[in-house]
Structure 1
Amino acid sequence: MAVDWIGFSYAVLVSAGGITGYVKAGSVTSLAAGLLFGLLAAVGAYLASQNPTNVWLSLGNAGTSGALAVVMGLRFLNSWKFMPAGLMTLASGLMLVKIIIGMRKKPRKS
């Protein structure tokens, strides 16, 4: 059983971003979204570590990463500031690519 360290690292990054947004700007929305998406990413990384062949789990992780990539990408395009929107767009996009590549490598049962 291989641990999905990249997935867990991504979950920590997302959660830390939400906490930082709350501490710096007092944004309760950033805190709630960061913790929610971080929790979803952590659960996805844990379940992927338990059963890497679960395609439905991969689709759920892709949805979470894709949603963050789109939302933070739009924020980045509006502000052109790399921190935090650009970093989260880049991290979410890379995570999405990792998930898609992992889905393509998995043997499928018919």
Structure 2
Amino acid sequence: MNLSIIAAFAYGILAIAGGIIGYIQAKSKVSLISGSISGLLLVLAGYFQLQGQSSGAILAVIVTAVLVVVFAFRLVKTRKFMPAGLMTILGMLALGVMVSQMVGN
């Protein structure tokens, strides 16, 4: 299992957990739905990569890039590190790992 697969699984689980926490703390259905969908897509992308499908890596990069942009805009708007800043930084790290693995192959 390479780092790109681990990054997809980890960021996906983090997105799901963040959506659940957002729902519990703020009763935000949008957080729950968007966190669940994006997280499940990332977990699915990791699974596809485990199966040797290159489409999994592409899906992981696209979903992670979209999340980084969304969280970066949210960070600028709210100026609160949690959760937007943390998810932006972790997303950029995950994206860097994913892209470097794609370029390396």
The question of whether the paired residues in 1 share the 8 Å contact of 2:47 and 2:56 is answered with no
CA distance in 2, matches of 1:9, 1:57: 15
Answer 1 or 2: which has greater helix percent: 2
| Higher Cα Rg, which structure | 1
When normalised by structure 2's length, the TM-score is 0.90
Contact in 1 for aligned 2:8/2:60 (Cα 8 Å): no
CA RMSD of aligned residues (A): 1.4
Asked if the contact 2:15–2:38 (Cα under 8 Å) also holds between the matched residues in 1, the reply is yes
Alignment length (residue pairs): 103
Which SS does the other structure have where 1:38 is aligned? helix
**Deviation of residue 75 (structure 1)?**
0.5
The gaps in structure 1 that reach 5 residues or longer are: none
The aligned residue for residue 104 of structure 2 is 105
Structure 2 CA distance for aligned equivalents of residues 76 and 28 of structure 1: 19
Point out which structure has higher relative CO (alpha carbons under 8 A, 6+ apart): 2
**CA 6–59 in structure 1, closer or farther in 2 if over 3 Å, else same:** closer
Q: For residue 27 of structure 1, what is the aligned residue in structure 2?
A: 28
1:1-110 superposed matches below 5 A: 2=1, 4-51=5-52, 54=54, 56-106=55-105
Percent pairwise identity:
34
User: Normalising by the residue count of structure 1, what TM-score does the alignment of the two structures yield?
Assistant: 0.86
